[in-house]
Amino acid sequence: MNYFELFQITPSFDIDTANLAERYRELQRAVHPDKFASESEQQKLLSVQRTAQVNDGYQTLKNPLKRAEHMLSLRGVDISHETTTVKDTAFLMQQMEWREALEDIKDSQQADDLIEDLYQSFADYEKTLSQSLAQLLATNAENDDLSAADQIRKLKFMAKLQDELARVEDSLLD
C-alpha cells in the first residue's frame, strides 16, 4: 500500500506533518467502525481493515525513518527486514567512540556533562545524516536509493544509541 497516495501527500522525505495529521483525522472520520455500526458484517470488517491501514499509514508517514523506508520500498528497495550492516569505516569508528563514551559515563564524576555532550553529538550527527538522506531521496536515482538505505541504517543505529544513553541516564538517577 502506498501511504502517500492514501493520505494524498506528494511522496517526499520532508512532509508537512500538520497536513498529515489533518488528513489522518479526516480519514479516521470517514472509515471509523462506529460509522458502520448498523451496516453488514462485511462492511464492519472492511471498516476495521481500513482503519488499520489509516493508522499504519499515519504511524509510517509521521516517523521520518519509517517514511524514508516506505519511500524506498515503493521504489523497490525494501530494507525493513534485511540484516545488511553498514560498511562505512568512519561511521564504525565513530560508533566505537560513542560506545566507549557510554561506558565511561558510569564511572565518571562529570556524568551529567558527558551525557549532555553525547546527546549533542548524537543530535549533530543525526541532523547531518537526515539532511543527506533527504537529498538522496529527492533524486529518485537507483544508486542514491542504495546510499539512502545506508543512511537509514545509520539513523537506526543512532536511535538505538539514543535509547542506550537514556537507559544509562535513568540508571544514574536510580
pLDDT of residue 86: 82
pLDDT at 12 over 80: yes
Residue spans of the domains in the chain: they are 3-62, 89-173
Taking Cα atoms as reference points, which of 143, 172, 155 lies closest to residue 66? 155
Q: What is the pLDDT of residues 54-76, one digit of tens each?
A: 999 999 999 999 999 999 999 99
- CB distance 125 to 96 below 8 Å: no
- CB distance 162 to 115 below 8 Å: no
Residue keyed to cell 489509516:
54
Considering the chain, what percentage of its residues have pLDDT values greater than 70? 99
- Helix or strand (DSSP H, E) at 97: helix 89-105
> What length does the chain have?
174
- Cα 8 to Cα 13: distance, rounded to the nearest angstrom: 15
- Cα 158 to Cα 95: distance, rounded to the nearest angstrom: 9
pLDDT at 80 over 90: no
- DSSP E strand boundaries for the chain: none
The alpha carbon torsion through 9, 14, 18, 24 (nearest 10 deg) reads 40
- Cα 80 to Cα 139: distance, rounded to the nearest angstrom: 21
Architecture of the domain spanning 89-173: Up-down Bundle (1.20)
pLDDT at 84 over 80: no
Position 36 confidence tier, pLDDT thresholds 50, 70, 90: confident
pLDDT at 164 over 90: yes
Secondary structure letter of residue 39 according to DSSP:
S
Topology of the domain comprising 3-62: Helix Hairpins (1.10.287)
- Cα 113 to Cα 76: distance, rounded to the nearest angstrom: 44
Burial of 140 (0-12, 13-18, 19+ CB in 10 A): exposed
pLDDT at 119 over 90: yes
pTM: 0.86
